[in-house]
């Protein structure tokens, strides 16, 4: 009988029935606790950044910490964590992100705001260009970036990818490294940042990188707030170099009421809702990882501590 600590109390209600049923269906005998009076008896920890749990040292027999979140920047550097850490990749999260990215890209591509907010009843018959005439740079070609890039490419956008290591994705020219970033950004009408927060990606979008972008570029950031140097972005928005920024994630969340992004006419704030994981999909991944842990097989989506994601 395994002992699983569900250390994400705020979402326990979503899992309280489904998780035990899925474990049982998979033939995994387990008791699930929401608190661990005896940490040394815990085999697996299911974790979210909101969890009060910060000291992993007493969990001496824990085989893996299974994050409910894709982004692991709040746990990956925890010096007490020596157990394998797995991040979340699941269909609902990916589909949600694809929909957010495509929806906000289409808003800017079609110039929807001109028609949705038109108090002067201006009859402006200017037709937008076709997607095939627009270039999108996808910074981050992981689970979410690749799916979003492919969805945009299916709509005929000219998509360029950028990632840490070189990639080959049919129909999407991919770049890596600093020169590759310059190339990916050079002719992009829309730039999407779907990177994890790591020491290397912090302030990636700074004044220098913004100066490589086309004047009037639209920036979509559903990755992490720290990818952006906020002062540099605000300056670029004020000067018109950046035409619009749609931001879902921020250094401080909720975004404080006095933050200049709220009032800026060329910024759209969405409250970290680009994508959320769905219990059914999450449970499939959790159960599979517990099965793998028990069978001595490699875990799915294990985080590389050295890379930080």
- Residues identified as active-site: 224, 272
Q: Is 172 helix (H, G, I), strand (E, B) or coil?
A: strand
- CA dist 213 and 193 (Å) reads 13
| Interactions with ligand NDP, residue window 12-71 (CB under 6 A) | 70-71
- CA dist 63 and 293 (Å) reads 7
Q: Provide the β-strand partners of residue 217.
A: 242
Is residue 74 within 8 A of residue 50, CB to CB? The reply is: no
Is residue 75 within 8 A of residue 47, CB to CB? The reply is: yes
- Sign for the CA dihedral angle at 253, 98, 196, 177 comes to negative
Residue 218 touches ligand NDP, criterion: CB under 6 A: no
Residue choice 8, 42, 46, 70 for contact with ligand OXD (CB under 6 A): 70
Residues 191-210 vs ligand NDP: string with x where CB under 6 A? ---xxxxx-xx---------
- In this structure, what DSSP letter does residue 161 have? E
Looking at beta carbons only, is 75 or 190 nearer to ligand OXD? 75
- CA dist 174 and 291 (Å) reads 35
Residue 237 touches ligand NDP, criterion: CB under 6 A: no
**Closest chain position to ligand NDP (CB):** 142
CB of 248 to ligand NDP, least distance (A): 5
Residues 1-40 vs ligand OXD: string with x where CB under 6 A? ----------------------------------------
Residue 69 touches ligand OXD, criterion: CB under 6 A: yes
- CA dist 59 and 33 (Å) reads 14
| Interactions with ligand NDP, residue window 248-277 (CB under 6 A) | 248-249, 272, 274-275
- CA dist 236 and 244 (Å) reads 10
Is residue 240 within 8 A of residue 264, CB to CB? The reply is: no
Stretches 24-32, 38-46, 124-132, 219-227: which one binds ligand NDP (CB under 6 A)? 219-227
Stretches 35-43, 160-168, 184-192, 288-296: which one binds ligand NDP (CB under 6 A)? 160-168
Element (H, E) at 32: strand 30-33
Residue 243: name its binding partner from ligand NDP, ligand OXD, none (Cβ under 5 to 8 Å by kind): none
CA–CA distances in Å: residue 191 to residues 61, 102, 110, 224, 242 = 44, 12, 16, 14, 10
Residue 279 touches ligand OXD, criterion: CB under 6 A: no
Residue 225 touches ligand NDP, criterion: CB under 6 A: no
Site residues (CB under 6 A) for ligand OXD? 69-71, 88
The residues that touch ligand NDP, with contacts defined as CB under 6 A, are 70-71, 89, 93, 140-145, 163-165, 194-198, 200-201, 222-224, 248-249, 272, 274-275, 309
């Amino acid at each position: 009988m395994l002992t699983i600590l569900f250390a994400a109390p705020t979402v326990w209600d979503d899992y309280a029935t489904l998780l035990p049923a899925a474990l049982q269906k998979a033939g995994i005998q387990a008791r699930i606790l929401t608190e661990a009076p005896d940490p040394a008896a815990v085999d697996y920890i299911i974790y979210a950044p909101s969890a009060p749990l910060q000291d992993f040292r007493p969990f001496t027999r824990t085989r893996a910490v299974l994050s409910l979140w894709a982004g692991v920047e709040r746990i990956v550097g925890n010096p007490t964590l020596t157990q394998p850490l797995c991040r979340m990749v699941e269909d609902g999260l990916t589909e949600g992100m694809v929909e957010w990215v495509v929806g906000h890209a289409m808003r800017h591509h079609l110039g929807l705001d001109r028609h949705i907010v038109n108090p002067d009843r201006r009859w402006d018959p200017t037709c937008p260009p076709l997607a095939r005439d627009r270039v999108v740079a996808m910074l981050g070609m992981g689970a979410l970036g690749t799916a979003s890039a492919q969805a945009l490419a299916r709509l005929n956008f000219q998509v360029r990818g950028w990632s840490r290591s070189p990639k080959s994705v049919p129909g999407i020219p991919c770049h890596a490294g600093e020169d590759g970033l310059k190339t990916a950004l050079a002719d992009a009408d829309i730039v999407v940042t779907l990177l994890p927060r790591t020491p290397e990606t912090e302030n990636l979008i700074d004044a220098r990188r913004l100066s490589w972008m086309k004047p009037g570029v639209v920036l979509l950031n559903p990755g992490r707030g720290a990818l952006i140097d906020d002062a540099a972005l605000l300056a670029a928005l004020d000067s018109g170099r950046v035409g619009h920024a749609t931001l879902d994630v921020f250094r401080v969340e909720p975004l404080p009421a006095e933050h200049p992004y709220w009032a800026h006419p060329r910024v759209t704030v969405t409250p970290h809702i680009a994508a959320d994981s769905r219990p059914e999909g999450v449970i499939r991944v959790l159960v599979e990882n517990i099965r793998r842990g028990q069978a001595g097989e490699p875990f799915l989506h294990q985080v590389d501590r050295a890379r930080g994601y």
